Structure 1
Amino acid sequence: MARALILVVDGFGLGAAPDAEDFGDVGANTFANLAAEFYQQSGRKLNLPTLSKLGLINAATAAGKQAPAVTGEAPSTGAYGYAAEISSGKDTPSGHWEMMGVPVLFDWGYFTDKTNSFSAELLEQIYQRTGINAILGNCHASGTNIINELGEQHMKTGVPICYTSADSVFQVAAHEETFGLDNLLTYCQQVREVLDEMQLNIGRVIARPFVGSSPDDFQRTGNRRDYSILPPAPTVLDNIVEAGGKVVSVGKIADIFAHQGISEKFKATGLEDLVNTSIEQLKSQPEGSLIFTNLVNFDQDYGHRRDPVGYGKALEYLDSRLNEIGVELKDDDYVFLTADHGCDPTWHGSDHTREYVPVMVYKRNMPSIDLGERDTFADIGATIAELFEVKAPEYGTSFASKLQ
């Protein structure tokens, strides 16, 4: 019986999607643009020997219509392609849910006013529910910037920092020690309840705890928590669990799926810890297990912060760890590598970008296989369903027969 590991390189796009114009993202290309900036700033090309051997450069060149500035080998093993998104947004839940066979074909609610984002009616309901009668922020903002701007005032007043972005999110930053982590999580749960009762259809409430005493040393911690709405239909994860298999969440996967269709969850902070925990689960989980890992740091630390050099170094680090993952694979094990959206670190603003994402699969002794362009992220879920011999999702076309 199959096992599989899915690694989601959060925010790793391969070029503007066919509908990028609708999102203002024509010209966005996370991989090619960061590689070019990396070369310009460091004087060398990105070195990705394992990912290139698995076909990443070929997939990126086909998707983005340009070859990224990367040193690597010709494809020699593994399946590679790229996929467009059919969901209405370019956010984390939409990408992950579609990946597992349930695209978001409705419109999320958004807070579109950039300087006075939350209405008086919403704030009054939040004040009544939480007992805290003020907020700081109330705007579109970068998470790290707003902590630096308002963190000291927050610590003095005990008033949470609330902000949003182009995504369907309500984010709350608070100091782990002066405000308290438990208080922050309770506050976010109460905000989630208010948003649901008002039927605003906001995808996530995100708790953003931080520590430090001044803007010079404020730092977000690994105790982030996402309070998501449930997917609108059962996902492939639900189908695996219903059939007696296991779904193991590493990182924020459980939060993204509102803990539905999850058998076990393992917290991990930082790229190294996320990879280490994924390898540990490959070593220990039985047949019939799907290990699902979100590598959030690519998006959170480098994409949103517009740090192409840091992003490139993180890609090189991931490349250096892939052979360790390969060593742990049994003959019927598969590794999928993909993304949930783009987050071009050279693009204007600090939001996600509407792009193709990689679709790469590896198992032992697999020849090199070109999967071409996939019409939806849901092809991944359909393939997983076939490999695990569970109910197929409504959306997506399986390419499992090409992987044998």
Structure 2
Amino acid sequence: MGKISLLILDGFGIGAMDDCAEVKPEDMNANTYKHLRAATKLHIPFLYELGLCRLVDNEGEPKAAYGKNNLAHHGADTYMGHQELMGSKPGIPQNRFMNDVGDHIKKCLEEEGCHVSVPIEGGSILLVNGCIVVGDNLESSPGNIINVVCDLNQITFEEASKIGRVVRSCVDTSRVIVFGNKKSDIVDILSAVTKKNGSQWGVDSPKTNVYGEGYHVLHLGYGVDFHKQFPYIAEANHVPVYRIGKTADVIQASGFKDPVVETKDVLRTYRHHYRKAEDNAVFLVNVQETDLAGHKQDVNWYKEVLEVSDRFIGEFIKEMSDEDVLFITGDHGNDPTIGHSNHTREQTPLLVIGEKITPVNLEVRTTMADIAATMAELAGVPQPEYGKSFLKEIKRA
């Protein structure tokens, strides 16, 4: 096999899912790509010629295998989208607040031998072993995530992660996030506890100075087992996996990772390691600034990031060997014109490029996990738990 790459344009959708009326009615008119094109002089000729021409405008002859992905995960979530892309079928989570589940979490932790207290009278956060705060995530959609914020001066991240897994086992929110940094001790963490929206109690993470160098994070998704995902299976079969950009934080693997954010740095890091890597290497690359621009509702920033990515793709394709394969997709939508700053539940484009790839119509895939299944077959490793490979449809005889 040659090198296998998955380039994820975070938040790049091409039209609302059919189930939006029931699942996310506020997204019924979302179309990230079309609305960007209408609002700006967006110029992404390589992506257009690869397949957007047919997927969006039903014209032209695509140069890549092309199709659309439906989202199998509930809602439109970056973390869950990436788990699906890696071959998981995430469960349907529930919105929970510490006001509702705090007592149950406390009981679960005490049964595991932890000392648990309520450090703020009238609040719903928990203090575990004097060095971990469990509370609502204040940055995501309300009720979506429980945070486990740890003082790494008192506890190792591995020990904190074990406590995070206990929390994960007793709550059905979309995510439990374990994180910390030696720059932030328990005094800093407790001083950043905030009440929000009348019912949420949690740590205002940016105020703790937790991010940046020394930051440790573990995302624990509902219904997700990374042991059954493509990256874990690939590494278990001696296939090296490189995670560049946001994939370094949200995808579990043990090989190279660099959580770089700026697009030019993401693409430069990708190209550098691609040129040096073994022929059987796998690259999982996320361009995050598209998503950040969507959250900011900044159409011009989004346009600039897409155009930088498009120029890179046009140049990069020329460097691929005859055996190499590049998959391009999104993880959900993030329409900056829709009227809100959240992710939008949209289909994502599916483009597959390679000298030995036939430019066929892959139609609408039931799940983004089909990409993981196809990468696994390309790599010659066992299949992930979810997804159906389309390699036979695209591989030249």
Give me the TM-score of the superposition, normalised by structure 1: 0.74
Quickly say closer, same or farther: Cα 1:271–1:191, change in 2 above 3 A: farther
Q: 1:165 aligns with which of 131, 138, 141?
A: 141
Q: Is the 8 A contact 1:249 1:293 kept in 2?
A: yes
Q: Helix, strand or coil: the match of 1:110?
A: coil
Amino acid at match of 1:17: M
Q: Does 1:370 align with 2:361?
A: yes
**Residue 325 of structure 2 corresponds to which residue in structure 1?**
334
1:293, CA displacement in angstroms? 0.9
1:294, CA displacement in angstroms? 1.4
1:252, CA displacement in angstroms? 2.6
Amino acid at match of 1:355: E
Q: 1:276-323, CA deviations, whole angstroms, 9 ceiling, x for partnerless residues? A: 111112101102211101112211x21111112211111111111113
Quickly say closer, same or farther: Cα 1:171–1:342, change in 2 above 3 A: farther
**Residue 80 of structure 2 corresponds to which residue in structure 1?**
94
**Residue 144 of structure 1 corresponds to which residue in structure 2?**
none
Q: Does 1:52 align with 2:51?
A: no
Distance in 1 of aligned mates of 2:286 and 2:264: 12
**Residue 350 of structure 2 corresponds to which residue in structure 1?**
359
Amino acid at match of 1:199: V
Amino acid at match of 1:33: H
Identity %: 27
Distance in 1 of aligned mates of 2:146 and 2:286: 20
**Residue 310 of structure 1 corresponds to which residue in structure 2?**
301
Q: Does 1:266 align with 2:251?
A: no
1:77, CA displacement in angstroms? 1.8
**Residue 238 of structure 1 corresponds to which residue in structure 2?**
232
**Residue 38 of structure 2 corresponds to which residue in structure 1?**
36
Give me the TM-score of the superposition, normalised by structure 2: 0.75
Q: 1:255-284, CA deviations, whole angstroms, 9 ceiling, x for partnerless residues? A: 313x3x442212323111111111112101
**Residue 148 of structure 1 corresponds to which residue in structure 2?**
none
1:190, CA displacement in angstroms? 9.1
1:346, CA displacement in angstroms? 1.4
What is the aligned-residue RMSD (CA, Å)? 3.8
Distance in 2 of aligned mates of 1:326 and 1:222: 33
1:100, CA displacement in angstroms? 2.1
Displaced runs of 4+ in structure 1, greater than 4 A?
Answer: 116-123, 130-135, 170-174, 180-183, 185-191, 206-210, 218-226
1:201, CA displacement in angstroms? 4.0
1:87, CA displacement in angstroms? 2.0
Quickly say closer, same or farther: Cα 1:357–1:204, change in 2 above 3 A: farther
Q: Does 1:78 align with 2:71?
A: no
Q: Does 1:296 align with 2:284?
A: no
Alignment size in residue pairs: 349
Distance in 2 of aligned mates of 1:382 and 1:192: 29
**Residue 27 of structure 1 corresponds to which residue in structure 2?**
29
**Residue 192 of structure 2 corresponds to which residue in structure 1?**
none
Distance in 1 of aligned mates of 2:136 and 2:101: 8
1:58, CA displacement in angstroms? 2.0
Distance in 1 of aligned mates of 2:92 and 2:385: 19
**Is 8-17 or 342-351 further displaced after alignment?**
342-351
Q: Helix, strand or coil: the match of 2:12?
A: coil
**Residue 214 of structure 1 corresponds to which residue in structure 2?**
none
Q: Is the 8 A contact 1:188 1:205 kept in 2?
A: no
Q: Is the 8 A contact 1:126 1:191 kept in 2?
A: no
**Residue 41 of structure 1 corresponds to which residue in structure 2?**
none
Q: Does 1:279 align with 2:271?
A: yes
Amino acid at match of 1:129: V
Distance in 2 of aligned mates of 1:298 and 1:334: 23
Q: Is the 8 A contact 2:73 2:92 kept in 1?
A: no
Distance in 1 of aligned mates of 2:315 and 2:259: 20
Amino acid at match of 1:23: K
Quickly say closer, same or farther: Cα 1:373–1:134, change in 2 above 3 A: closer
Q: Helix, strand or coil: the match of 2:228?
A: coil
**Residue 107 of structure 1 corresponds to which residue in structure 2?**
92
Q: Is the 8 A contact 1:117 1:139 kept in 2?
A: no
**Residue 199 of structure 1 corresponds to which residue in structure 2?**
171
**Is 392-401 or 16-25 further displaced after alignment?**
392-401
Distance in 2 of aligned mates of 1:110 and 1:18: 23
Distance in 2 of aligned mates of 1:167 and 1:80: 36
Distance in 2 of aligned mates of 1:55 and 1:190: 45
Distance in 1 of aligned mates of 2:180 and 2:297: 19
